[in-house]
Every structure is written in C-alpha cells, then in structure tokens.
Structure 1
C-alpha cells in the first residue's frame, strides 16, 4: 500500500487512514514524498547563513520521518517504510500504483501545491492509477456504513468487490445505493415506451444483479439496498453525510466513451462529506 505525504495536515490524515487500511489488510505501507526541488535546480543543502541541519533535503527527510512515525503510532505492528523520490507527485504516485493494492492521498497540499492535491493529483490518480485510489476528505465517521454507488456499469462492478471487502474489514454495514430517474431529459423517449413502474423494476433488477456475486462471497456483510429516484450527484453527496467511506467506479453507464473519470466521480472527490475510494475496472486486483 502506498500513501503520499507532503507534511500537510491533510497528508497526515491520509497517513493515518492508510495505516489503518494496511493493518486491516495485513500488508506493508510505503510512505512516499515527491521531492520536486532537484528538478528546479535549486540548492538542496543547508544555507551558509542558516543552521547546519537545514536545507530542502533535510526538510524532506523530516516530512517522511514524521509521517512514518505517525503511521506506526496509529497502527502499531504494521511494517512501514519511507521514501523520498525525485519528481512531481502526479507522475510518481501514478507510476508506483502499478505495484500497490491501494494509493491513499489527502485532499489538500502545502506550499506551492496548495489546492492542487485534490484538483490535480487525486483526480489524475483516480483516472490513471493501476489500483484503487482513496482520497481522504470530509469528516471521520467510524460508526457509519460503507456507501457503495451502484449503476450497473463495468467500473461500478469493479467497485462492488472493493466495497464489500472494505465493509468486511471494518466490521461495517454496506449501504448500496442505486440512483434512477424516469428519463434523462426531454429528448429521452424511454418513458413513452416503458412506464415509470417498469423502469423502476428494471433498476431494481440492476441493483440486485450488481450485488448478487458479492453477497455470496461476503455473507458476513450486512447489506442495506437503497433504490433512490433523483439525480445521481446530489443523492450520493447527501448519502455521504453519515458514511465512513464512499466507494464508486470511475465512470458510470452514461459516461462519454474514452472519458477516464466521469463527472459524478469528480463531483464526489470534490464535495463528498467522507473519504472517497475510486475503483476503475481492472484496478481492483490486489498486487501487494
């Protein structure tokens, strides 16, 4: 498992979450700090006018050491290592995701990258990472359910197993929410050929079919199914208010072909009231 850190409070929250995830999964945790300054050709050592233990390199080491200590304090007994890797966060974390089972990041950065972690790093990773991405945001609600967004798409199917495994590891209830509406707009002819009740029955079938295999594999997980009529984004954002984790696919049924991250997933990353895990089709297989 991999967690990115930059020394911010948001990153420390991500480290804490990653430590708990690593303990629940029985896997090791690697704390990575992207050290961009060598690329900018600036001095990395201490200033001749400052303390001998100063400098950007030392500052980076302190960020990593602090994060590693924090992870060990949050989840005693887990194996934690720290690395300083030259480069910018987007490239480093995306590349390292190929050998991880989960990448965890905070929702805000520090220094020159304030506001970019959510705007760039998290969204970029959710679209391109080779494993699920967990963005730590919102309030912690350890007694809440794991919220799963279901829409019957291939990416949503990939998210189902991840959500069930998370619920089992956390000892939490799984709330599976499928949002539906009779039509997608004035030009949608569907209601002319199928009544609202017929559409609802079909959406109930979509929800049941999406969960069927996972409920058999994780019989210990208590599942609450919610079929909600409305608009997807506001419904899921409202449902996130009491959840401890929201799990979604990267793209839904109505997404544009070739779009790596759908508008609903992006809205959840920016506005959900709890941490958000984005799972792309093919990215949910554990790698170690």
Structure 2
C-alpha cells in the first residue's frame, strides 16, 4: 500500500495533557481501523528584531519544544496501544492551515479541548469553527468532565437528529462508532416553540402532537440504519427543550456526542452559533462534528 493509499487518523498535539488524551483516543480509532496514527504539532516562530543568529536560535527552540510535545504524545499512545503505527510531524505554520492541509488525506482529525504552544486557545474564537466547517473529514474534540481529565470510557454514543442530510451523515458516523465501541446509540431530537421553518408554533398546538411528529421523523430516519446494524441497540429520545442543553445533560453519562455541521430546526447553526461553542467548551465527553461530504470508514 502506498503512502497515498494509507488510512490515516490525525491527532493535533502540543505538549498538553489534553492533547495527550486526544492522541490516545485517536490511537484507539487508528488501531481499530488498521490506520496510521499521525501526530502533528504546529508551531509559529515570532519575528524578533534581532540578528540572524538569534532568529535561528529562537526557531530551533520553538521546534525543539514542538518535537518534545510530539514525543510525549507518542509515549502516552504506546503505553496504552503498543501496536499502534505512528507517524510524527512537526510543522512551522499556523495551526488551522497546518491541520487543514494534513487532514486532506485523513479519515478523522482529533484534538484536545485545550492546549499549549501551537494549539493554545484552540477552541477560542474561529479556530475550531474553521476546522469543523472546512475539514474534509469528521473533527473530534476530546473532552473529560474537567479540563485535564481523560475522556469517559463508558456510556452510549449520542447523536443529535433533525432529519436534515447533515444529521443523517452524523447518524451514520455515530452508528459506526457505537458498534465499534460495543455500546448503545441514543438518537436525540428536541423540539420547542420554534418550528423547523423558524416560525412560532400556532397557538393551541398540543405538545404531544409535536412530540409524536418528531418521533415519527426520527423513526423514519433511523429505519435504514437499524437494518444496516441489526445488533445495535438504538434508543430514541424526543424531548421538549433546547438542543445544546439536552445534549449537555445527556452527555454527562455518554462517551461521545455526534452532531452534523449544519441542520434545521433544533440543530440549525450548530457550528456557527452559540450552540456549537457551548458543546465544544462544556461537554463532559468528546464531541464529533461530521460534515455531509466528510468520508467515513
């Protein structure tokens, strides 16, 4: 198999505990898929107003620090997954651009929830949104209950559904992850006073009717996946409320939350507004964002 044909799981690292947890999480995926785990650290060298010799020393210092971060991540991976096939890359460049180039050939890109060095503030501002919006593969942010905690090793996989094509791709990814991890899938649909078309519901609308309609849509969306994965336990959760609050509450006992990159109804703007930011910053478990054109295993 040529390098171009090699299956790759990408992990962005930076020397932080969070990044090491992400690398170990990514290694499990890589070993399961028979893929190479590619550990990548980006670093940016400032432009000091000093002599050429000093600039060279600064550059070497930043690169040395980056190489140490990758080595620490590799050691953490091999301690848990000694059979993992690992590649290491240290790249001079901005984190978003580096990872977007790297993930062109990856099946999934995995990141920690906070970091140091080249990935400081990864989830603050536009970085996470840029990766999730433009990466050609699913993007997973690995989180635990507290900032430096490892991700949970038990619980179901949750997926947010709204009937859109995006949520259907997220559903496929979630099914595959649940099967691979030997756990159940919880398909979550929320509804509230706003219709999928963005209008207020008519006065007198009965909550039980809205819930029943939502349940029928979810069952229809699940039907082909139940057929494809007959041994997978799929629980349907249809509740009145806001999607982010519901997923955060249910995610407290989950091992992974999966959402689409766009949607309608309760999950509209998942990557562009406060909903996505809340999930990425506050979830008690890893969060996977799946684009409709992103490849799966």
Same fold (TM over 0.5): yes
CA distance in 1, matches of 2:158, 2:234: 10
**Residue 33 (structure 1) aligned with residue 41 (structure 2):** yes
Tell me if structure 1 keeps the 8 A contact 2:251–2:283.
Answer: yes
Aligned to 1:176, the other structure's residue is in SS state strand
Measure how far apart 1:25 and its partner are.
Answer: 1.9
* 1:100-154 Cα deviation digits (max 9, x unpaired): 1100001112147533445443222111111000001123321211111111112
Instruction: Please give the root-mean-square deviation of Cα atoms over the aligned residues, in Å.
Output: 2.8
Moved more, 274-283 or 30-39: 30-39
What number of residue pairs does the alignment pair up? 279
List runs of 5+ in structure 1 lacking aligned partners. Answer: 48-53
**Residue 7 (structure 1) aligned with residue 15 (structure 2):** yes
Q: 1:196-235 alignment to 2 at 5 Å?
A: 196-235=207-246
Tell me if structure 2 keeps the 8 A contact 1:38–1:44.
Answer: no
> Which residue is equivalent to 1:108?
114
Q: 1:131-142 alignment to 2 at 5 Å?
A: 131-139=137-145, 140-142=151-153
Describe the shift of the 1:71–1:94 C-alpha distance in structure 2 as closer, same or farther (beyond 3 A): same
CA distance in 2, matches of 1:29, 1:113: 18
CA distance in 1, matches of 2:267, 2:177: 29
CA distance in 2, matches of 1:279, 1:224: 21
Q: 1:1-288 alignment to 2 at 5 Å?
A: 1-37=9-45, 43-45=55-57, 55-111=61-117, 114-139=120-145, 140-183=151-194, 188=199, 190-192=201-203, 195-254=206-265, 261-286=272-297
List runs of 5+ in structure 2 lacking aligned partners. Answer: 1-8, 146-150
TM-score, normalised by the number of residues in structure 1: 0.87
Describe the shift of the 1:73–1:63 C-alpha distance in structure 2 as closer, same or farther (beyond 3 A): same
CA distance in 1, matches of 2:277, 2:271: 11
Aligned to 2:140, the other structure's residue is in SS state strand
* 1:238-280 Cα deviation digits (max 9, x unpaired): 1111001101111220489999635423321121111100011
Measure how far apart 1:209 and its partner are.
Answer: 1.6
Moved more, 254-263 or 80-89: 254-263
Tell me if structure 2 keeps the 8 A contact 1:159–1:247.
Answer: yes
Tell me if structure 1 keeps the 8 A contact 2:20–2:73.
Answer: yes
Tell me if structure 2 keeps the 8 A contact 1:182–1:199.
Answer: no
Tell me if structure 2 keeps the 8 A contact 1:128–1:260.
Answer: no
Aligned to 1:243, the other structure's residue is in SS state coil
* 1:41-71 Cα deviation digits (max 9, x unpaired): 9734489xxxxxx833222222222222222
TM-score, normalised by the number of residues in structure 2: 0.84
